[in-house]
Amino acid sequence: MILFLKNLAFTILLPGTLAVYIPCRLLSSGFILPADWALRHYAGLLPLLAGASIYAWCIWDFATIGRGTPAPIDAPKVLVVHGLYRHVRNPMYLGVLLVITGWAVFFGSATILIYAAAVWLGFHTFVILVEEPSLRRRFAGSYENYCHNVRRWLPGKGIE
């Protein structure tokens, strides 16, 4: 139960802020759902729902397999290479980016799309400078092997 609450708190604090609160604040008209839906509204739901599902799956794997959270102060105790992590090294970040992109499509907002690009750049920088070096120190050879078999951002064949 404590692990669930820690994952919930992290989700609200960081991804919730990045993928929901800030995009909604960037809307010049505010967060108002349309009375009549156009094709772009339905199209925007696809990445929104896909991204939220990806994020939820990753949180589940971090909690059940890794016995931790995405927060660096309570990181998984075990290197998670199951589920989506078998095909791409950063599916949780990709899920968050899909949610932001979904908002951009849903609201037809170039500002949110630019914000999504900035968030990706921030994620990439964090992964390169902080996360990967930390994982190399913690999991040594197993992480090197994982990196050799699984791409950072683009899903691929991955681990069999």
DSSP string spanning 64-127?
A: HTSSS-SSGGG--SS---SGGGGT-S-HHHHHHHHHHHHHHHHHT-HHHHHHHHHHHHHHHHHI
Look up tokens 């949110």; give the residue.
112
Confidence of residue 81 (pLDDT cuts 50, 70, 90): very high
Instruction: Express as a percent the part of the chain with pLDDT over 70.
Output: 100
80 phi and psi angles, rounded to 5 deg: -85, 115
- Sign of dihedral through CA atoms 129, 134, 137, 139? negative
Residue-range domain boundaries for the chain: 2-149
> Model-level pTM greater than 0.85?
yes
Cα separation values, 92 from 17, 42, 141, Å: 15, 23, 23
Confidence of residue 34 (pLDDT cuts 50, 70, 90): confident
**3-class DSSP state for residue 30?**
coil
Question: How far apart are the C-alpha atoms of 117 and 121, rounded to whole Å?
Answer: 6
Q: Which of 10, 32, 40 is nearest to 101 (CA)?
A: 40
Instruction: Check residue 85 and give its pLDDT.
Output: 96
What's the CATH number of domain 2-149, 3.40.50.300, 3.40.630.30, 1.20.120.1630, 1.20.120.850? 1.20.120.1630
Instruction: Check residue 32 and give its pLDDT.
Output: 78
Question: How far apart are the C-alpha atoms of 123 and 91, rounded to whole Å?
Answer: 12
